[in-house]
Amino acid sequence: MEQYKYFKEKFDIKHKEPETYSPLALAYIGDGIFDVMVRTIEVSRVNKQVNKYHKDVSKIVCAPAQARMILAIEEKLTEEEHAVYKRGRNANSYTKAKNASRKDYRNATGFEAVLGYLYLKEDFTRLADLVKMALDVLENDNVN
How far is Cα 28 from Cα 43, in angstroms, rounded to an integer? 23
End-to-end Cα distance, the chain: 37
| Residue 27, CA distances (Å) to 20, 21, 38, 106, 120 in order | 13, 10, 16, 10, 11
CA 42 – CA 29 distance, rounded (Å) = 20
Point out the residues that are catalytic.
Answer: 31
Select from 86, 73, 76 the least CA-distant residue to 117. 86
